Amino acid sequence: MNLSQLRFASAVAAEGSFTAAASLCCVTQPTLSNGIAQLEDELGERLFVRTTRTVALTPFGVHLLPYINEVLAAQSSLVHQAQSFLKPDKRLIRIGTSPLINANLLGVMIEPFRRHHPNVDVVLREMNIADLYRMLDDGLLDFVFGVTSAHKSAWVATFLYEEPLLFVPRAAERSNATRPRSVQLKDIADETYVMVPDACGLSRATRALFRSQRRKLLEYSGQAMSYQVLEEWAALGIGSAILPKSKVSPGRNTSLPIIDKAGIEVTISFEAVWSRTGIQPPQLLDFANHLRKVVPGIVGGLESGTMRRTKK
């Protein structure tokens, strides 16, 4: 058996669904199902009873689940203890960030903590969000900043900020002299959209937005590798795009806010997550408190300032 198989079993037990557990573990459902099947073969009995509608623990699974979670917690603790021993004087906070995070806002959120804790090194790592979550589980990261989504019961989450989602029309739509100041999703539901791989959370958030409105998302068969390419492909007329406001190139006046039926801007929200069992060193506790208590005031102040400047 391996730690991934144990994480799969813990996720299914927490979510009650193979599909939801696979999403949380950032793997395909066949990968998760095969991993659990291999674990059950090695343990000698089935952990779950599966029907077409429900997934439940067997009595054997109920008995073993606490031990599975104990192994996962022990692994996280082992990694931290090894690092504490090898680098007793090195106080680190390791943060993984999705490429979708607003880099300017990231600095604003972290800088006050750095000023008040000059003896703590904050190390940032930007990667594919699935890899970041795996590193968090493996104890190689302390925090992950990414798009708000369903998360594991072993994680703690706190809201960071939100920003508007903008519709970037394809070239054919831009020549329209009566182009509105905003659009509702129903007005742009028939567009074909250019997308990036689901490495940052944007594609998943876009699909969730369309599902929430019971609309089918029409995706272009190719994939762009950056937000800039999405804009370039939209300019070429290949398809339209949806991007957070901070990822739209400065000076681009063709993008439009997306609003809901009440006229409120549709936004994408971001959160910080960390392990329930991994926040033990003092600097990590301090930073978790900073995220919960200080960051909301910082972000709220910035948003209020933007609103005041807009009204003038």
Judgement on whether residues 76 and 209 belong to the same structural domain of the protein: no
From first to last of its 312 residues, the chain has per-residue pLDDT tens of 899 999 999 888 888 888 888 887 888 889 999 999 999 999 999 999 987 777 888 989 988 988 888 888 777 767 766 766 776 666 789 999 999 999 889 999 999 999 999 888 898 988 888 888 888 888 888 999 999 887 767 789 999 999 999 999 988 665 555 667 899 999 999 999 999 888 788 998 999 999 988 899 999 998 887 888 899 999 999 999 999 999 998 766 788 999 988 889 999 999 999 988 766 788 899 999 999 999 988 887 666 544 333 333
Count of the separate structural domains present in the chain: 3
Answer yes or no: do 131 and 254 share one domain: no
- One domain, residues 193 and 252: yes
Q: Are residues 134 and 200 in the same domain?
A: no
Same domain, 185 and 134: no
Q: What is the CATH number of the domain that holds 227?
A: 3.40.190.10
**Residue pointed to by tokens 């199902």:** 33
DSSP state of 117: -
Distance CA 232, CA 224 (A): 10
Are the CB atoms for 23 and 150 separated by under 8 Å?
A: yes
Indicate if 302 and 185 belong to the same structural domain.
Answer: no
Strand segments (E) across 85-126: 92-97, 121-126
Residue 50, domain CATH: 1.10.10.10
Question: Is residue 136 domain-shared with residue 282, that is, in the same domain?
Answer: yes
Looking at residue 290, the DSSP 8-state letter turns out to be I
Same domain? 121 vs 180:
no
Q: Tokens 């952990």 identify what position?
A: 47
Domain stop point among 45, 61, 83: 83
Of 83, 103, 120, which residue is a domain's last?
83
- Residue ranges making up the domain that contains 93: 86-161+269-311
φ/ψ (deg, to 5) at 294: -95, -45
Same-domain status, 104 and 23: no
- For residues 46 and 121, membership in a common domain is answered with no
